[in-house]
Amino acid sequence: MRTTVTIDDTVYADAKVHAARSGRAVGSIIEDALREYLDRAMNAPASNVAELPTMRSGGVRPGIDLNDMSAVYEVMDEGQGLDALR
Q: What is the dihedral of CA 6, 32, 19, 26, to 10 degrees?
A: -40
Q: Which residues contact 25 (CB under 8 A, 6 or more apart)?
A: 19
**pLDDT class of 11 with cuts at 50, 70, 90:** very high
Q: How many domains does the chain have?
A: 1
Q: Is 51 helix (H, G, I), strand (E, B) or coil?
A: coil
**Mean pLDDT of the region 5-27:** 95
Res 43: pLDDT: 86
Q: Does residue 3 form part of some domain? A: no
- Within-domain flag for 79: no
Sign of the Cα torsion 36, 39, 43, 49 reads positive
Tell me if 21 is assigned to some domain: yes
Examine residue 37 and state whether it is found in any structural domain, yes or no.
Answer: yes
Domain holding 16, by residue range, is: 9-43
Answer yes or no: is 75 within a domain: no
pLDDT in tens, 30-80: 999 999 999 988 887 767 777 788 777 777 777 788 888 888 888 787 766
Question: Is position 50 within any domain?
Answer: no
Q: What is the pTM of this model?
A: 0.50
Mean pLDDT confidence for 13-18: 95
Domain membership of residue 19 (yes or no) is yes
Query: Between 85 and 43, where is the model more confident?
Result: 43
Residue 26 is assigned to a structural domain of this protein: yes
